[in-house]
Structure 1
């Protein structure tokens, strides 16, 4: 069950990345929505409403969660750029996943949001100076983290959920 929940394992920060690795991370943010779209658009309504694991969120809920989480990530990052080590509250993702938009809105709404948001996020990231990636914020759940680490964590989070979806597709033979 743990392999289904965390198919790529826990987040492990590789430390401060070299410039080429950071560029790859920024590209991953920019292209995330297209990769997710390619995985979920062929799915039927029934398949989208299937939990990725017993007791887990449906594929549809995961897609909407990714849009919400990426919005929060973008705002955390901007606060880290413009404030001195701001404290960033978490949000109750499990409660957000029960709200009506997670069940009633089509996934295209969140895919379009992700696409626009992540293009803007990537545009911001490529404009930054090296030392700006060393700025920090304080996550009330995870502690102090640099913006470099935050980027790595956001990408891990996106890959984590994308792999939950693609693993379900593979296991189910869709």
Structure 2
């Protein structure tokens, strides 16, 4: 069951990244939209409404969740670059996943949003001076996160959810 929940393994925080690791995290964010599109390509509504694990979200919910989560992450990035250790607000991921748009909207809406958001986010990250990756935000539950640490999470989070879809496709014999 743990493999279904964490197909790429649990998250490991990289509080301070060197230039090479940072470029790798940004590259993941750059490639994630096309990987998400490929993972969800040609799935029927029945397949999109299949949970990736027992008691898990459906593929449709996962796609919409990535767009929702990455919008929040993008805003957190901009906040920490323009304010001194801003306090960020968490969002109720489970609650958002149960809203009607997340449970039933066509995935193309979130795939397009994810594409455009990541283009803008990558542009911002690639133009951010190295010293600004030590800037941070405060999370009410998780404390201070540097941009390096947050970036390591943002990259992992995208790969984590894309793997939920690709591993389900593999288990179910749905060809990509």
So what's the TM-score if we normalise by structure 1? 0.96
1:27 and 2:27 matched: yes
Residue of structure 1 equivalent to 2:49: 49
Cα RMSD over matched residues? 1.0
- Following superposition, the deviation at residue 15 of structure 1 comes to 4.1
Residue of structure 2 equivalent to 1:99: 99
Structure 2: any 5+ residue segments left out of the alignment? Answer: none
- Following superposition, the deviation at residue 18 of structure 1 comes to 2.2
Aligned mates of 2:39, 2:88 — CA distance in 1: 31
TM alignment of 1:55-134, pairs within 5 A: 55-134=55-134
Cα gap change, 1:35 to 1:97, in 2 (>3 Å): same
So what's the TM-score if we normalise by structure 2? 0.95
Q: Which runs of 4+ in 1 moved over 3 A?
A: none
1:93-128, Cα deviation, whole Å (9 max, x unpaired): 101011110122100100000000010000000111
Aligned mates of 2:71, 2:98 — CA distance in 1: 18
**Residues paired across the two proteins, number:** 174
Residue of structure 2 equivalent to 1:170: 170
Residue of structure 2 equivalent to 1:149: 149
